[in-house]
Structure 1
Amino acid sequence: MSNHDASHLNQPLGGNEMPRFGGIASMMRLPTQADADGLDAAFVGIPMDIGTSNRPGTRLGPRQIRDESRMLRPYNMATRAAPFDSLQVADTGDVAINTFDLKKSVEIIRQHYRELLSHDAVPLTLGGDHTLTWPVLQAIAEKHGPVGLIHIDAHADINPHMFGEEVAHGCPIRRAQEEGLLDSQRVIQIGLRGTGYAADDFDWCRDQGFRVVTAEQCWYKSLEPLMAEVRDQMGDRPVYITFDIDALDPSVAPGTGTVEAAGLTMSQGLEIVRGAWGLNIVGGDLVEVAPPYDPSGNTALMGATALYEMLCVLPGVKRR
């Protein structure tokens, strides 16, 4: 935490000061600013779906996540985390991607995060499709070196290419590993499931040293014991969290582009993020919310909740 006077820390706009359906639709109705100057943590949107392979719509994700985040209140009643009493947090708006050119967008994202990280703020990203995690990790690794990764997803995202392209939402973990952005002995992938193009699809991950925990290994279980092992595995070195909303079961989160049956429960998703408490978290993202397939708004609310929980486990957050 930076040396901020607690009385000058940003606070979300409360539901008793302004009706929840009013006010500016920033993340948790926090103050907004154009850059990360003076911040300990920054919510950032990347409104992009040009890396998707099935249903589009994640370009609308950041706006909908912000809108549904109006239900979130400052204090975490389960963990007693008080992030807004501890850190200076704001919504720094969206990355101005090139919506006609995915490769240019990747470079725009990388440069944007380089600038953000120069302020020593921890980025929490509202996606957007999963392609974005690769350029974000490029900027993160420039600052912190290879990072441990907690990857929550239905898919391993280790395709060598899609339609001959190396930049797509099914490739970011493959690219990150190839570029040495990951500390491969500190990578865990949780929730992988479904069908594959080859019987050994997930074995590439294991061959890299990644720990793979399939959705079937999580069925009917609390994931608290798993996360105790993850904390030991990660140690005190930098860790990044990437949470693809399709890790969750479609009964909880239908609003996404590549749905798979029989996923994690939301309570398991919360156990994973809350289980990262005490780790040296240097960034996180929540990706693949596609509002056109989310008629109730619940998928976006689950995404907003996961991002809030990531904020609650950042270094420096007090527990009341």
Structure 2
Amino acid sequence: MSSPKYVGIRTFLGAPQSAVNEVLSGQIVFCGAPLDAGQTYRVGARHGPSAIREASRVVRPYNPRLDLDLSALALSDAGDADVAPGSIERGFEAIRSHIGAIVQRGAYPMIMGGDCSIAFPVLGELYSKWGPIALVHFDAHTDTWDEYWGERYTHGTAVRRAIEAGFIEPSASVQVGIRGSGYGPSDVEQSRDLGLLVLTADQVHADGASETARRIVERVGSHPVLVHFDIDCLDPAHAPGTGMPEVGGLTTHDASIILVGLAGINVVAAEVTEVLPAYDPSGITAIAAANVLFELASLAGSHG
């Protein structure tokens, strides 16, 4: 309350700035991974971190559902990974270096993408610290395709690549909100064949937010968890500014109730991806993303 929200340098939730080599053990560290070299349709998620930080100015630090004041915790914003536009390989290297420094110092990265391909290097760094990770993956798409036009590393293949590398524990992992037209039944069945639990958007709508949260908690158990939230998990009415919009998605209210229902799981990192400001003229997608990241940081803070 020392100054209006529109004053000062843009960091997420107004958190103090820090270099990655200055973060402390136990801190919740906001950071950006502005890589969109893996996108296959609309591009522009490289600008997602700046839009989410700007939108976070409307988010206050107290979470009434969890009775948690984030401003009472150790927070920092460690800036963005120094990715190279157009190079997914160099982008992965930069993300692994940036996120790895945070993880190895015992802090909890809250990551703003970027496209969904960032999950692969992030999961690699989490694996080096925690071993196989439980993935809670909110998305309209499974991201378990093998390749796109001969390319094995895209935003649609990240989960498959991570499972193949051993970064993910499939038996403790779940995909939430999957929907939309596809190329065939294998689009969803390939995730189940890899060992993932798939909760389609239709199932979420039928079961309700609280039951969906219960199933996720039951699935992940005590495993360390990465929560990956592709903003296209939300219906385009709530999040139009994204790369691959699909009708029939979650509402922002349902998403927030599900996330609050995950309280108690061991969230060691989280990421919000696929925010494209150029397709978000009113800013509602960035506002939704900022609030999702606020809920995810609250989960990490409440568990710690």
> What is the TM-score with the length of structure 1 in the denominator?
0.91
Is 1:127 the equivalent of 2:108? no
Is 1:250 the equivalent of 2:236? yes
Structure 1 partner of 2:29: 42
Is 2:95–2:121's contact at 8 Å kept on the other side of the alignment?
yes
Structure 1 partner of 2:50: 63
Return the offset for 1:37: 2.2
Return the offset for 1:294: 0.3
Specify which of 204, 209, 213 is matched with residue 199 of structure 2.
213
Distance in 1, matches of 2:152 and 2:231, equals: 22
The amino acid of 2:165's aligned partner reads: E
Structure 2 partner of 1:30: 15
Structure 1 partner of 2:174: 188
Secondary structure of 1:313 counterpart: helix
Q: Greater share of helix residues, 1 or 2?
A: 2
Secondary structure of 1:219 counterpart: helix
Distance in 1, matches of 2:151 and 2:303, equals: 41
Structure 2 partner of 1:3: none
Is 1:280–1:315's contact at 8 Å kept on the other side of the alignment?
no
For residues 279-303 of structure 1, give each alpha carbon's deviation from its aligned partner in whole angstroms, at most 9, with x where no partner exists. 1111000000000000111100100
Q: What does 1:42-191 align with in structure 2 at a 5 Å threshold?
A: 42-85=29-72, 87-191=73-177
Structure 2 partner of 1:282: 268
Return the offset for 1:272: 2.3
Distance in 1, matches of 2:302 and 2:278, equals: 37
> What is the TM-score with the length of structure 2 in the denominator?
0.96
Distance in 2, matches of 1:78 and 1:300, equals: 21
Is 1:141–1:181's contact at 8 Å kept on the other side of the alignment?
yes
Distance in 2, matches of 1:196 and 1:211, equals: 19
Distance in 2, matches of 1:196 and 1:278, equals: 35
Secondary structure of 1:285 counterpart: strand
Is 1:97–1:105's contact at 8 Å kept on the other side of the alignment?
yes
Structure 1 partner of 2:278: 292
Distance in 1, matches of 2:244 and 2:198, equals: 20
Is 1:238 the equivalent of 2:213? no
Is 2:65–2:260's contact at 8 Å kept on the other side of the alignment?
no
Distance in 1, matches of 2:192 and 2:284, equals: 33
Runs of 4+ residues over 4 Å off in structure 1:
315-318
Secondary structure of 1:254 counterpart: coil
Return the offset for 1:79: 2.2
For residues 196-251 of structure 1, give each alpha carbon's deviation from its aligned partner in whole angstroms, at most 9, with x where no partner exists. 11222111111122111111112265311121222122111211100000000000
Distance in 1, matches of 2:170 and 2:283, equals: 36
Secondary structure of 2:172 counterpart: strand
Is 1:81–1:317's contact at 8 Å kept on the other side of the alignment?
no
Which is further off, 126-135 or 107-116? 107-116
Question: What is the aligned-residue identity percentage?
Answer: 36
For residues 147-180 of structure 1, give each alpha carbon's deviation from its aligned partner in whole angstroms, at most 9, with x where no partner exists. 1111000000011011211111111101011111
Secondary structure of 1:202 counterpart: helix
Alpha carbons of 1:99 and 1:43: their partners in 2 closer, same or farther (altered >3 Å)? same
Secondary structure of 1:190 counterpart: strand
Return the offset for 1:18: 1.7
Provide the aligned length of Structure 1 versus Structure 2.
302
Distance in 1, matches of 2:61 and 2:88, equals: 36
Is 2:19–2:79's contact at 8 Å kept on the other side of the alignment?
yes
Return the offset for 1:316: 4.8
Structure 2 partner of 1:10: none
Distance in 1, matches of 2:199 and 2:206, equals: 14
Provide the aligned C-alpha RMSD in A: 1.4
Distance in 2, matches of 1:24 and 1:244, equals: 26
Distance in 1, matches of 2:95 and 2:246, equals: 28
Distance in 2, matches of 1:181 and 1:202, equals: 21
Return the offset for 1:118: 1.6
The amino acid of 1:204's aligned partner reads: Q
Is 2:42–2:244's contact at 8 Å kept on the other side of the alignment?
yes
Return the offset for 1:257: 0.9
